[in-house]
Amino acid sequence: MRKTCIIFGSTTGTCESLASKIADKLGIAANDIINVNDFKAEMLSEYDNLILGTSTWGAGDLQDDWYGGGLKILQSNDLTGKTVALFGCGDSASYGDTFCGGMAELYDAVKKQGAKVIGSVDADNYSYEASAAVINDEFVGLALDEDNESNLTDERIEKWVEQIKNNL
């Protein structure tokens, strides 16, 4: 596996916890799990692969810390040659019309800058109304719902990691 980091934004700690679970499954070292508040543009040269995680807030928005600079870094750097995988957490019962929509903004940013995005997930196995993060009946990354479907989290992570690890 080429040099990989996980960059996450977390308000309540849920997304951070999920980042750690994914890192454990992929054998990513703790110092390569980066809070988006600590993410600097210079770090892009250190990694071949980026796994980006966000919770979804408001009307399908990214977690707030991403707007503090992380999103701008992604939008203003050439990501050609980088492989990116996305994961997001949301609440499909209370916010079923914007479930995991925050991933869409990350997806759009990295695609526009030339990254290869991997790890889409079939949306049929989820209970939600709508999501900006669904393209052609697939989430652009791993969608997780710790509020309503936490019993499925470990299995979903396991399948997703198996799907992406050979591309990292």
Domain boundaries, the chain: 4-167
Who has greater pLDDT, 2 or 39? 39
Per-residue H/E/C for 44-112: HHHCCEEEEEEEEECCCEECHHHHHCHHHHHHCCCCCCCEEEEEEECCCCCCCCCCCCHHHHHHHHHHH
pLDDT of residue 166: 95
Question: In what helix (H) or strand (E) does residue 35 lie, and over which residues does it extend?
Answer: strand 33-35
Angle value at C-alpha 91, between 15 and 55, nearest 5 degrees: 30
CA distance 162 to 158: 6
Tens-digit pLDDT profile for residues 108-165: 999 999 999 999 999 999 999 999 999 999 999 999 999 999 999 999 999 999 999 9
pLDDT tier for residue 10 given thresholds of 50, 70 and 90? very high
> Which of 136, 160, 137, 69 has the alpha carbon at shortest distance from 109?
69
Q: Which fold has domain 4-167?
A: Rossmann fold (3.40.50)
* Whether the model pTM is above 0.95: yes
CA distance 11 to 18: 13
**Mean per-residue pLDDT over the chain, rounded:** 96
Tens-digit pLDDT profile for residues 47-57: 999 999 999 99
Backbone dihedral angles phi then psi of residue 114, each to the nearest 5 degrees: 95, 5
Residue 58 has pLDDT above 90, yes or no: no
Tens-digit pLDDT profile for residues 65-104: 999 999 999 999 999 999 999 999 999 999 999 999 999 9
pLDDT tier for residue 21 given thresholds of 50, 70 and 90? very high
> Which of the 8 DSSP states describes residue 12?
S
Tens-digit pLDDT profile for residues 119-135: 999 999 999 999 999 99
